[in-house]
Amino acid sequence: MAIMDDIRRIMLERASQGIGTGGGIFGATNQQGQPMGLLGGMQNINPNLLIGASIAGAGLQGKDPFSSILPAVAQTAQIQKLFTPNIKSTKKVFDKKTGSNVFATDLQIQKNPERYVPPEAEPENAAKVTRELEKEFRGLYKNSPIVKNFDEANTQLNKLISGAEQDSAAGDLSMIFTYMKVLDPTSVVREGEQATAQNAAGISSKVRNLYNKLLTGERLTEDQRKDFVSSGINLFKANTRSLDTFREGFVKTFKNKNINPSDIFMDSDFRPDKISVNGQEIDLPRGTILDNFDISTGEYIYLLPTGQRFKLKR
């Protein structure tokens, strides 16, 4: 405590001589401009960060103003820590000097408000920010299990419809095999081999028997083909509704960020973007789903949220 006692003694002596009111313990200088303060030799320390309202207040209350800072003065590591800005308190801003996005502390932003501005404050930077957000959203969307499941279901549905349109033994076999894979993706039965309870356990005996008959050269009737297509589309509806719900969550996330949903939703959805209603072209209403497929005309039948249906060739 010898240092503290010496500093207190010097302060009392300077106060009795009326010294110490022209710059404090850091700011006073002699005629040659050299620092005269008690800590004048430590010019590398910013006094404004060490002398503040708390120290002045302690003095006004009759307390020893040095009692709270001497430990820091005595230990260089603590002083350095005291003057080091809290790097955790940072914000993403646009740096006009470098022309790029950076992370700056609150102190840096306060000292340079003209240099560090919000990312969206600069028109040329706003487009860059939007592109970065679009890239991030596209990645999240594309890698979602919901989107991947939808794309896989869409692939199987296309195979199913393609088989139905062929109107041939090969088409019938391909269609019902695809249907079985939709019902039981884990099935190990291979196209062209007999389906059994062992290799296609998730398939009903009725469907397995029908598939096995096709292997012998039998054909499906038109009604049977329609039934398989209709059943496949009914299964596909669940994937579509899951996708639509997932999209709604994304739209809410990037609302008011100048992002076009069509730039994010990169998937295999083949629903039209616009339809004609009463001679007027409008955006496809949300909630519109594929309801069926007309084998005879090759038209897709869509169901609007209002209950109305319309046909459209792909």
- 213 or 30, which is more confident? 213
Count of all residues that appear for the chain in the document:
314
Q: How confident is the model at residue 45 (pLDDT cuts 50, 70, 90)?
A: very low
pLDDT at position 110 is: 85
Higher per-residue confidence, 32 vs 181: 181
In which residue are the tokens 């869509």 written?
A: 302
Question: What is the rounded distance in angstroms from the CA atom of residue 302 to the CA atom of residue 309?
Answer: 5
In which element (H, E) is residue 251 found?
helix 222-253
Region 126-143: what's the mean pLDDT? Answer: 85
pLDDT at 29: 46
pLDDT for position 301: 96
Local confidence band at 109 (pLDDT 50, 70, 90 cut-offs): confident
Which residue, 63, 67, 14, 5, is CA-closest to 40? Answer: 14
User: What does the pLDDT read at residue 48?
Assistant: 42
- Given a cut of 70, whether residue 210 has pLDDT beyond it is yes
Is it the case that residue 147 has pLDDT exceeding 70? yes
Question: Mean of the per-residue pLDDT values for the chain?
Answer: 76
pLDDT at position 69 = 43
Rounded to an integer, the average pLDDT of 204-219 is 92
CA atoms within 13 Å, Cβ hemisphere of 286 = 9
Residue 179: pLDDT over 70: yes
pLDDT tens track for 51-107: 443 443 444 444 444 444 444 444 444 444 444 445 557 888 888 777 777 888 888
Distance CA 282, CA 279 (A): 10
The answer to which of 38-47, 93-102, 196-205, 237-246 has the lowest mean pLDDT is 38-47
